[in-house]
Structure 1
Amino acid sequence: MEYYSLLVIFVLGIAIIYGIYATITTVAAKLSEKQRWEIRGKHTDITLPLRLQAYERMCLFLERITPNNLLLRLVPSAMSALELQQILLHEIREEYNHNVAQQLYISANAWEQVTNAMNETVAVINQASTEIPADAPPADLAKKIFSHVIEKEVQPASHALKVLKEEIRTLF
């Protein structure tokens, strides 16, 4: 009888200890999860404005490197087609270098589209410059660039802007 009583007490003791252990681990897990959500919320409060700013800056970058905007800004400052080409390429590189850190805050796909748009714009400028003499007036190069841009079905910057806008919509 004593043996049976000790066994019952022992089993009850183990059941109580296991119940306490299960309760403590469940409470600890819930507290840990709550802390994770609070930290995630704080990070979101910090990173969301940075991400939005990055998307804004990349939209501005794409607008600034479109051939139309580049040419309107820079044609008057060039004396020849070669000089205009160099000025255009320099301006694109400077804009890109100024915004390269924004890739941390946007998706890899969006960054790839931005980089592709920049590379295609550079390719259009270089292609157009090979089709006219280096000492031609800058307006001739501008016309050639415009003709290449018009020939494209989808403008590189327009496509990249579309991707950026779609991603911004997914944030909200």
Structure 2
Amino acid sequence: MNNTVIFSILIALIILNVLWNFWPAKNKAKGASPILSPSNDANTQLMQLQAYERLVLLVDRIAIPNLVSRLNTPGTSAMETQVLLTQTIKQEFEHNITQQIYVSADAWKAVKNLKDQNIYIINQLAQNLSPDASGTDLNKLLLEYMMTDKKGNLCEVASEIISHEAKQVLS
């Protein structure tokens, strides 16, 4: 099997795992408790909502198309761009790591899976380029991959999970 097929299968498995394990309807079917218990006060709810807001922003900031447009640096090599993109994802994630205290394990895991998937995609596609490829070549390949990937968008799945849980806090 070539690398593209293996890569596509791995991405599909990651997305299926997220959909299977974290889709909100599954939690309802299991009779999972709501995100907030009756003992939570208005301050706790406000903190939770702020955490969900920050996670929505994080998901948007680490989406590959947004990273590419924000960090496009002409004149860099593909390797330099690869390092810049992956370091930025890690820094964004680490900057928001405390938000996991205020959200469900499912929401946090969806964000973590998105981070891991995006780093994986960047690294895999960068490996397919020649050693003398430019950062623009990598960015172009990343955007093409994101546009042609028909298996689903983990960024959208993570956003939906976060949004659903934030709405539960509001109700």
Report the TM-score range of the alignment, normalised by the length of the smaller protein: 0.7 to 0.9
Give the gaps of 5 or more residues in structure 1: 1-36
Task: Using CA pairs under 8 Å that are at least 6 residues apart, name the structure with larger relative contact order, 1 or 2.
Answer: 2
Q: Corresponding residue for 2:158? A: 160
Alignment of 1:1-150 (within 5 A): 40=39, 43-76=40-73, 79-150=76-147
Q: Corresponding residue for 2:29? A: none
Moved beyond 3 Å, runs of 4+? none
Q: 1:77 to 1:107 in 2, by over 3 A?
A: farther
Sequence identity percentage: 33
For residue 138 of structure 1, report the CA deviation from its aligned partner: 0.9
d(CA) in 2 for partners of 1:133 and 1:52? Answer: 45
Aligned 8 A contact 1:124 1:148 in 2:
no
Tell me the secondary structure at the aligned position of residue 130 of structure 2: coil
TM-score, with normalisation over the residues of structure 2? 0.73
Give the gaps of 5 or more residues in structure 2: 1-37
TM-score, with normalisation over the residues of structure 1? 0.72
Give 1 or 2 for the bigger CA radius of gyration. 1
Larger proportion of helix = 1
Tell me the secondary structure at the aligned position of residue 73 of structure 2: helix
